[in-house]
A and B are shown apart, each in its own frame.
Chain A
């Protein structure tokens, strides 16, 4: 069974703090993704990575950065947290299967509250 774990289920931070969200997958997947999920907006892609040390911007990268030093680990960094970054953050991973359908497996999510 594929397992994607996220370091925290709930997190409360103050405005201006640097926040690290960690994600680990145990299936040797090449691709990893960070999304945020907000009511009425669905899942929006922040960043993704298709290989170690490689990253690409998604639809809403502003205010975020990522790090992928090891294949199994993908970190999302909020350089200076703001209240509009209060959200549910979901990590996902998938195999690299070229043009074919690749199933994304999601972690349980981190609910972040920025005060």
Chain B
């Protein structure tokens, strides 16, 4: 079993939809949770991060962490075609290396 599981998609939604992207994990020592966005033929860029449990909002993006269920989510409101990308979750223990999910391909159709 992988430490971090993420559905690869692709997830296809119409413009304006609310998108929900998710990851599950098995290591209860993970404390830092991140979402990276990767456009085609580019490197990943950090989109959001949270420490421990709770929610964090940044514009149309909301990151949510539920440590009791070992489940993290990224919500995108009012999705745009420019949001079409691969979204990678990543997490790490205190002072340790990042572990990435496989990435979910998102396509927002206009």
Contacts and interface: CB of A to CB of B under 8 A. Distances in A.
Interface residues of A, number: 23
A106 B43 CA distance: 5
A108 B42 contact: yes
Contacts of B45: 105-106
A105 B43 CA distance: 9
Interface in B38-57: 41-46, 49, 51
A67 B32 CA distance: 29
Interface residues of B, number: 22
Interface string A27-58: 00000000000011111110010000000001
Interface SS of A by simple majority = loop
Contacts of A90: 43-44
A4 interface: yes
Interface SS of B by simple majority = loop
B88 A48 contact: no
Contact of B43 (A41, A48, A107): A107
A109 B6 contact: no
Given A43-B88, A107-B43, 13 more contacts: A4-B43, A40-B102, A42-B4, A42-B6, A42-B101, A43-B100, A44-B100, A90-B43, A99-B95, A104-B98, A106-B43, A109-B41, A109-B42
Interface of A: 4, 9, 39-45, 48, 58, 90, 92, 98-99, 101, 103-109
